[in-house]
Amino acid sequence: MTDVTTQIPMVDYLVLDPQPHLVANQCTSCGARYFDRRNACAGCFGTSFTKADVPTDGEVRSFTIVTFAAPGVPVPFVSAIVDCHGTSVRGNLINVEPDPATVSLGMKVRLATYSLGVDDTGAEAIGFGFEPA
């Protein structure tokens, strides 16, 4: 087994230290938040953005149980949209059975990270999802 020498977030908006959290680009004109790079805000066409920490807890606003996926992707899993106090985040629900009896709209969740694997140099890729709070 390879020793972990460094952790690398799966996406650039996942910050691991000091505590795992997401960081969005926030429009300085209207406050809209985006996780991808923007030249202009889709809401007001503003062109100035600042970094904004996203709360790590939220509520499930929408979800689907995915039963068919690309080869090699384990199914079933729960894909969801989580409202983190006004910031909409797309992510999978983890540490929960992919069953409508265990997942519901309004369900309280919190950000969680997990290992995606370690390469030969000891770099560990870290992903994020949301788990029941």
Give the total number of structural domains in the chain. Answer: 1
What CA dihedral angle connects 1, 118, 98 and 81, to 10 degrees? 160
Give the mean pLDDT of the chain. 95
> Is residue 38 situated within a structural domain?
no
> Is residue 26 situated within a structural domain?
no
> Is residue 35 situated within a structural domain?
no
Of the candidates 121, 79, 83, the residue with the CA atom closest to the CA atom of residue 96: 79
Separation CA 7–CA 30 (nearest Å): 34
- CB count within 10 Å of CB 125 equals 14
What CA dihedral angle connects 99, 105, 111 and 115, to 10 degrees? 20
Looking from the CA of 84 toward its CB, the CA atoms found within 13 Å total 23
pLDDT category, 5, cuts 50, 70, 90?
confident
Q: Which domain holds residue 123?
A: 6-21+55-132
> Is residue 111 situated within a structural domain?
yes
Output the domain CATH number for residue 115.
2.40.50
Backbone phi and psi for residue 109, each to the nearest 5 degrees, phi listed first: -135, 165
Q: 7's torsion region: left (phi>0), alpha (psi -120 to 50) or beta?
A: beta
At 3 the pLDDT is 72
- CB count within 10 Å of CB 21 equals 18
> Is residue 90 situated within a structural domain?
yes
pLDDT in tens, 45-67: 999 999 999 999 999 999 999 99
At 65 the pLDDT is 97
> Is residue 121 situated within a structural domain?
yes
